């Protein structure tokens, strides 16, 4: 008699084993371990609140929020991001920012209001869950604000923009345009912003830009142009558009 379910290999198909725990590098496990610790801290805060130890409960919720904030950054720093980690982080968010604060507040104060207090705690947790679900859905839409923001943050981390040195705020030919020039380790970065509701164009000139430098869009990787002999480049911006440009100096032979 054949079994009702097909055979299941927990570590992959026969002959094609998947990743076993002992084969996963520590650097990939570390961010997930921090996420687990964050969940433990949030749940412990709930228990402490119902035991009447409210000060320690609040501290545990704050620790959970701190750990939840650094796990993703650590994963990106160690290049250990994964789909599993994203799902764990979502679970930690609903526990640490939704369930834990709502239940701690209920145990401390809202229970005195009876059913009304419990409804208030439920609304807080549900609102957090809805906001998280909306955020996750927006991540799947490449044109959403969240997806664009994620691209920008990825560019910032990849090129070290957070530690770049601002070297110039050049004058521009259009008053609706703002230009910032930053010095990176091996190149320059130019931020160009359009604050008007119209398409604008103009030249961006800065003595910090070397003639012959190649200019590309840091988000899309598309070529934009080249710095001319006057240390300037021509740019076109759509209404309320901003662009981050990588200016790579020419190679000296």
pLDDT, tens digit, for every residue of 93-150? 999 999 999 999 999 999 899 999 999 999 999 999 998 888 888 877 777 777 777 7
- pLDDT tens digits, 67-81: 998 988 888 788 888
CA 38, CA 47: separation in Å to the nearest integer?
14
What beta strand segments (E) does the chain contain? Answer: 12-13, 16-17, 165-168, 177-183, 188-194, 200-205, 214-217, 223-226, 232-237, 242-248
* Average pLDDT of the chain, as a whole number: 85
What SS3 class is residue 171?
coil
What SS3 class is residue 43?
helix
Q: What is the predicted pLDDT for the residue at 69?
A: 87
What SS3 class is residue 243?
strand
Residue with tokens 């054949």: 2
Kindly state the average pLDDT of the residues 167-183: 87
What pLDDT band is residue 16 in, cutting at 50, 70 and 90?
low
Whether the per-residue pLDDT at 36 is higher than 60: the answer is: yes
> CB of 2 within 8 A of CB of 58?
no
Pick left, alpha or beta for residue 6 (phi over 0 → left; psi -120 to 50 → alpha; otherwise beta).
Answer: beta
Whether the per-residue pLDDT at 152 is higher than 90: the answer is: no
What SS3 class is residue 11?
coil
> From the CB of residue 123, how many other CB atoms can be counted at a distance below 10 Å?
11
Domains in the chain: ranges and CATH: 12-140 (1.20.120.1760), 163-248 (2.60.40.1180)
0.75 surpassed by pTM = no
Whether the per-residue pLDDT at 151 is higher than 70: the answer is: yes
Average the pLDDT over each of 52-56, 76-80, 145-149, 231-235 and give the range with the smallest value: 145-149
Q: What is the predicted pLDDT for the residue at 54?
A: 94
């Amino acid at each position: 008699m054949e079994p009702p379910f097909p055979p299941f290999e927990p570590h992959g198909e026969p002959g094609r084993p998947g990743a076993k725990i002992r084969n996963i590098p520590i650097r990939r496990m570390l961010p997930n371990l921090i996420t687990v610790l964050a969940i433990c801290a949030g749940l412990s805060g709930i228990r402490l609140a119902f035991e009447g130890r409210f000060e320690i409960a609040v501290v545990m919720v704050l620790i959970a929020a701190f750990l939840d904030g650094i796990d993703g950054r650590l994963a990106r720093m160690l290049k250990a991001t994964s789909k599993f980690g994203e799902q764990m982080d979502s679970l930690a968010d609903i526990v640490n920012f939704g369930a834990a604060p709502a239940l701690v507040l209920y145990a401390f104060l809202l229970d005195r209001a009876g059913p009304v207090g419990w409804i208030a705690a439920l609304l807080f947790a549900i609102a957090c869950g809805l906001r998280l679900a909306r955020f996750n859905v927006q991540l799947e839409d490449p044109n959403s604000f969240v997806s664009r923001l994620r691209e920008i943050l990825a560019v910032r981390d990849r090129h070290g923009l957070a530690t770049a040195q601002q070297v110039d705020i050049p004058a521009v030919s259009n008053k609706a345009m703002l230009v910032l020039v930053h010095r990176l380790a091996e190149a320059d970065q130019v931020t160009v912003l359009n604050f008007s509701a119209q398409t604008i164009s103009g030249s961006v000139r800065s003595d910090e830009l070397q003639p012959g430098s190649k200019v590309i869009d840091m988000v899309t990787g598309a070529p934009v142009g080249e710095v001319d002999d006057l240390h300037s480049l021509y740019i076109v911006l759509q209404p309320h558009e901003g662009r981050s440009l990588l200016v790579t100096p020419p190679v000296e032979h």
